[in-house]
Structure 1
Amino acid sequence: MSVSKSSPSRHVTERANKKQHSKSQSKDSGRPPGPINIDSRRLLLFCGGPILALFVFYVNSSNFQLFTTGPSPRSSFALCTPEGNNIYTVDADNSRTQCVLVHKARIVKTGSLDQVQLHWDTSVVLHSIKSFTHLPVLWTKPGSIVVPGLSDSHAHILEYGASQQLPLEGTQSINDTVKRVRDYILANPDIQTDKSKFILGGGWDHTVWPTSRWPSAADLDADPIITGRPVVLQSKDCHALWVSSAALETSLPLPLEVEGGVIVRDQYGYPTGMLLDNAQELLKQPELTEEDLMKRFKITVEDAVKNGLTSIHDAGLDPTSLKFFKRQAEIGSLPIRIYGMTFFDENGEYWGNITDPIIASGDERLTARSVKIFADGALRTGGAALYEPYADNPDTNGFMRLDEDVLFKYIPLFLRDGWQVNVHAIGDRANGVVIDAFEASLAGANVTALRPRLEHAQLMTKEDMTRLGKLGVIASVQPTHAISDMLYAEQRLGPKRVKNLYAFRTLIDSGARITFGSDFPVESMNPLSGFYAAVSRLSPSGYSPHGPDGWFPDQRLTRQEALRGMTIDPAYASFTESILGSLEPGKRADFVILSQDIMKVPVNKILDTKVLATVIDGEAIYGDL
């Protein structure tokens, strides 16, 4: 099997609110009091004659801590927008409101300030906390909006943390990448003095390099600082490893062939240090310690909450991840919500009937009730399985990472035993085969109860998009992939076939339900990047090969569709729509405060939006309310 020779194409102010809630109160109570200048150490007094409670908020640039001498506003408070209905609930009617009332980590009422105040007086106070009768009201900054907690439906949590240790995103050539590795070694004395330490990095993208060849171990070994050190560098799409000779030697001998993968070899048949798809599993690396895993996790969580993410679906690239999340949930230390996909090993024993799914563990922070199956490789590295050969490399049409019979055997078994089945499929052939398997497995089944997912669903025939919609299979898509791949996609697929790549509008019009992810670290973690890409089909600088209206502008989504794609749709895709995804009574108080209205600002201003606060269970885990 050959591999592509081309460059296979990545706010409280709480205003000091001393309102007296009396019968003489003006009906204009929905309007906030005039602004009061308060510095970053904010003092809030909620008074009704004597002081009932004193809340002191200390805010800094990276976190939000609360100290209280009375009931915490994290336990009970109303969050309101000063300019009217600037809270997007993302309910079935896509309604907007002025306030949400939070009590004991859940939303208990939405509406105007008068409405939530009445609910507080007649429901919460009478039945709950008679000693604390005045409702704490927190006002957002002018111009800001509130949306449900943002979710990423497809990401790799620990892999992101690893990639940030030695990030290779943005390198412009092989030599530039090698130099970054060298500089990393020189900047870390513990690594520099120990040549046996594995050096791990990720994010290189050879599709933007001036050469069409794959990088090799020789490129790394040629540097006198790097030579003799085990170096493992993950590609941007996580479908290729570039390794040094010292890293490769630990895994020799390698088999001649790998089903569903490629060991790139030189003209003499020797491995060059490039392993694609399933071949990556052949590389032996030191087992990660709990300290290693925690370091990676903390890096990811810190960046996630800064970006407004409250829930992440971990797409099961590494089986180690889910085991780590389980351990953290057992000790009650998951700071965000995780929906974990269990890695499928076609060579291992079937476990669907002997393993219990994890549902809402750790105070509804961890759920793992799905299995992740890889059908093919990636378009960028030339491993996506196509019906016809690649336009820029007619010698190959990619490859399936497993035998088609495996899909027809195991998908119905997992569905029968109550597992959601999520299948990675990129190419049109892979998507067609997976839809065939879903079609056979779902005959007579309650699809709403099973909710199978097609992860990526990048390139599909129009007939298969129609079948997908009729079947009710969820399309888990990554809008930022579209604006990364648009730079090389037509060269790779040709002018006709490329029209069916990232065809989000066609998918929705075919009846398919979609959900948004980023596939980080492959793309930016920022969910607003996905929102922007979906509604614009433009690069962050405003470019597209098809002009200022965007790349295939007929495939753009509305802002409402895009907002749902990163809130209620991911909740549905993870069976959590009864507690997450929208701001409705009974649901968890997960929400994000954004600096401006992404539903109204000009498209080219969307990415200027800042996250002012990220809130989970009514507690601000990042920013300033």
Structure 2
Amino acid sequence: MFRLTSLVSALFVTSLSAAPVVLSNVQGYGFDNNRQLQQFNVLVFDDSSGKVLARGDASVSTQYPEASKLDGKGKTLLPGLIDGHGHVLGLGQNLSLIELRGSSSELDAVQRVAEFSKHHPDLPWLRGRGWNQVLWPEKNFPTTALLDEAVNNKPVWLTRVDGHAGWANSKALALAGITRETLDPAGGEIIRDAKGNPTGVLVDNAMGLVQQHIPSATYADQLHALNAAFEHLLALGITSVHDAGVDTSTVKLYQQLAAEHKLPMRVYPMLSADDSQLPKWLAAGIIDDPTDYLDIRSVKIYGDGALGSRGAALIDPYSDHPSQSGLLVTQPDQLSQIMKMTIDAGFQTNVHAIGDLANRLVLDRFEKFVPKDKRESSRHRIEHAQIVSPKDIPRFASLHVIPAMQAVHATSDKNMAGDRLGVARLRGAYAWRSFIDQGSIIVGGSDFPVELAEPFHGIHASVTRQDHENQPKGGWLPEQRLTLTEALRSFTIDAAYGAFQENSMGTLAPGSWADFILVDRDIYQIPPEQLWQVTVEKTFVNGKQAFSK
């Protein structure tokens, strides 16, 4: 499965400027530069430069007689985990919202809103996130009725778990001027009752009708949210995150924190295609940070919506709603324009595509706009790649497009996807094994706060295709499972590859950043069904302890 390594680069052994630290008595796992798993018992790093000097067996320690010593106490050591698709500001803000994830019914969700309202009487708006009607008994979208009974004196806005639909009370609808005469915006839908009246649920681009009336977060609000998110992520063993869609104000805040050496983890922000300042960012060129704390070289574009809200754009209609085929959040002509502009500027282009139609449209444009000799080096990505026509899957490999996928979406969607898609389309749904077998590199992630930012939940889902109750027996579409090593790669070196950072992080090879975690059990020695229960005890970034349980 792996081999013990003790070879040390002389370049690093003889470094006179190093301030080495020898961390011994660990069960370490990392990767070499060929992505092969390596086992080691000692890790040596320089706590001034923040880089790994060596790794191997006990003999490595003898080559650093003056080094500081740390005892790993037999714990398992892994590279710092990389979440290849999350929303940092959204996570921080979500930590102070009404928590609706796990609500068992519409009534349960409303009761949570009422309880929150009672304890926060001064808030001008009540906001929450996490409801999922698919998990409720009737599986129907909620309405304003119960919500109005609970709160009718202030606006309420509750975002669905996937972020692609919102639920408003009548006060919020009134503030937004939404009536039966309001037209659906392009790429959005106002859910209506049999008489044509808005029910309170807005899908994709229609959400903006309400959201534009929510007071903007202040600088202090944003800073508080980012720091809350950083603290949360570091406690989960995440040392680097790809922030999927960031506006100029947030990027500027990141730049300020980086300049003040106050970024506690590495951030790879994708500039939002919706930001009015995008042309200026593209004209300025990529920003390659030698410390890798803040590399800016990618753009996030939305192709379609999400499957749960029937916003994912499908080639054929939804099996459980034949009158609907989903929504293109960015219309084809505009998609072409933004993708070409981004590609021509030399930026990595990362497009959200969940449905098979959206994936095909994006692949078509990569094929048209990216010169053949630049396809591999550009590392363009499709974010999610959830439902792909089987005949389009090989195009990812031939076009060198990276699928950035979130394993937890499969275990969250397993009770709904079959209804939405029917049996035939499941052959190309959440098809991790199909991608891996053709040589594609998968960038792993969670899509927090859509899902919990728990990387071991994603590793568990990748390996078992089961939920935390070990259901379904044998796994959902088990032929698409990954091995543990493949799953670990997707959250380490392969996620780093998706950000042009595989030579500096995700491996713990000599010369890489000393970003690593100590966890409470050996992931290679426990039953796969226990992987989601792994707990992080310590997190190190740049050789410095950033979290301790």
Counterpart of 1:282, as a letter, is: L
Using the TM superposition, give the Cα deviation of residue 368 of structure 1 relative to its aligned residue in structure 2, in angstroms.
2.1
Q: Structure 1 residue 513 and structure 2 residue 432: aligned?
A: no
Report the secondary structure of 1:613's partner residue: strand
- What SS does the corresponding residue of 2:288 show, helix, strand or coil? strand
2:415 partner SS: coil
| Alpha-carbon distance, 1:438 to partner | 0.7
State the partner residue of 1:128: none
- Structure 1's 230 and 331: CA in aligned 2 closer, same or farther, altered over 3 A? farther
Q: Say whether the 8 Å CA contact 2:246–2:269 is kept in structure 1.
A: no
Matched residues in 2 for 1:272 and 1:464: separation?
Answer: 37
- In 2 relative to 1, CA 214–320 (structure 1 residues): closer, same or farther, beyond 3 Å? farther
1:329-358 residue CA offsets vs partner (Å, 9 max, x unmatched)? 233211111111111129887446424333
Question: Deviation of residue 314 (structure 1)?
Answer: 0.9
Deviates more, 1:506-515 or 1:313-322: 313-322
Q: Which residue of 1 aligns with 2:102?
A: 170
What letter is aligned with 2:87? Answer: H
Change in 2 beyond 3 A, CA 1:623/1:346: closer
For structure 2, the 5+ residue unaligned runs are 1-5, 7-17
Number of the residue aligned with 1:567: 492
Name the structure 1 match of 2:354. Answer: 426
Looking at structure 2, the residues matched to 429 and 230 of structure 1 have their Cα atoms a distance apart, in angstroms, of 36
Is the contact made by 1:242 and 1:275 (CA closer than 8 Å) also made in structure 2? yes
1:414 paired residue number? 342
- Name 1:135's counterpart in structure 2: 67
Is the Cα contact below 8 Å between 1:151 and 1:309 reproduced in 2?
A: yes
Deviation at 1:320, TM superposition (A): 4.8
Pick from 73, 84, 97: which aligns with 2:40? 97
Aligned to 2:79: 148
**Is contact 1:90-1:564 (8 Å) kept?**
no
- Structure 2 residue matching 1:364: 3-state secondary structure: coil
Please name the residue that 1:276 is paired with: 203
- Bigger helix share: 2
- Aligned residue for 1:262, secondary structure, equals strand
Change (3 A) 1:459 1:369: same
CA drift at 1:517: 0.6
Correspondence list, 1:393-472, <5 A: 393-472=321-400
User: Deviation at 1:448?
Assistant: 3.2
Q: Structure 2 CA distance, aligned partners of 1:86 and 1:371?
A: 35
SS in 1 for 2:296: strand
2:116 corresponds to which residue?
A: 184
Structure 1 residue 482: Cα displacement: 0.5
8 Å CA contact 2:285–2:345 kept in 1: the answer is: no
1:275-314 counterparts in 2 under 5 A?
275-283=202-210, 284-314=213-243
Match for residue 462 of structure 2 among 498, 519, 534? 534
Aligned partner of 2:14 in structure 1 is none
Counterpart for residue 524 of structure 1: 452
SS in 2 for 1:368: coil
Match of 1:14 in 2: none
Matched, 1:577 2:502: yes
Residue of structure 2 equivalent to 1:110: 55
1:588 matches 2:513: yes
Structure 1 residues 551, 317: closer, same or farther in 2, change over 3 A?
Answer: farther
1:80 to 24, 27, 51: 24
Q: What TM-score, normalized to structure 1? A: 0.80
- Does the 8 A contact of 1:352 with 1:414 survive in 2? no
SS at match of 2:377: helix
**1:257-305 deviations in Å (ceiling 9; x for gaps):** 2111112233444433221111122222101012222232232222211
Alpha-carbon spacing, 1:253–1:491, altered in 2? closer, same or farther (3 Å): closer
Note if contact 2:456-2:533 (Cα within 8 Å) is conserved in structure 1.
no
| Corresponding residue for residue 254 of structure 2 | 325
Q: 1:599 to 1:349 in 2, by over 3 A?
A: closer
Structure 1: state its 5+ residue gaps: 1-29, 31-73, 122-133
Give the structure 2 partner of residue 334 of structure 1: 263
Structure 1 residue 514 displacement after superposition: 0.7
Amino acid at match of 2:537: L
Count of aligned positions: 525
Asked if the contact 2:29/2:37 (under 8 Å) is kept, the reply is: no
Shift of 1:495: 1.3
Are residues 281 and 445 of structure 1, via their aligned partners in 2, closer, same or farther at CA, if it must alter by over 3 Å? farther
CA RMSD of aligned residues (A): 2.1
Match of 2:12 in 1: none
Q: Quick check: 1:156–1:520 contact (8 Å CA) kept in 2? A: yes
> What is the SS of the residue equivalent to 2:507?
coil
What are the residue-to-residue correspondences of 1:317-396 with 2, within 5 Å?
Answer: 320-345=249-274, 350-351=279-280, 353-360=282-289, 363-396=291-324
Return 456-465 or 278-287, whichever deviates more: 278-287
Counterpart position of 1:65? none
Q: Equivalent pairs: percent with the same residue?
A: 35
Q: Deviations over 1:118-164 (max 9, x none)?
A: 2x35xxxxxxxxxxxx222212122x211111010001112122222
Q: Quick one: structure 1 residues 253 and 244, their matched pair in 2 at CA, closer, same or farther if it must change by over 3 Å?
A: closer
2:418 equivalent among 457, 468, 490: 490
Q: What does residue 13 of structure 1 align with?
A: none
CA offsets, 1:426-459, max 9 Å, x none? 0111101111111111232322331100000001
Kindly provide the CA deviation profile for residues 450-487 of structure 1, in whole angstroms up to 9, marking residues without a partner as x: 11000000011121110111111110000000011111
The 1-side partners of 2:371 and 2:185 are apart by 34
Larger radius of gyration: 1
Q: How far apart are the structure 2 equivalents of 1:405 and 1:576? A: 32
Shift in alpha-carbon separation, 1:587–1:177, aligned structure 2, 3 A: same
Does residue 602 (structure 1) correspond to residue 527 (structure 2)? The answer is yes
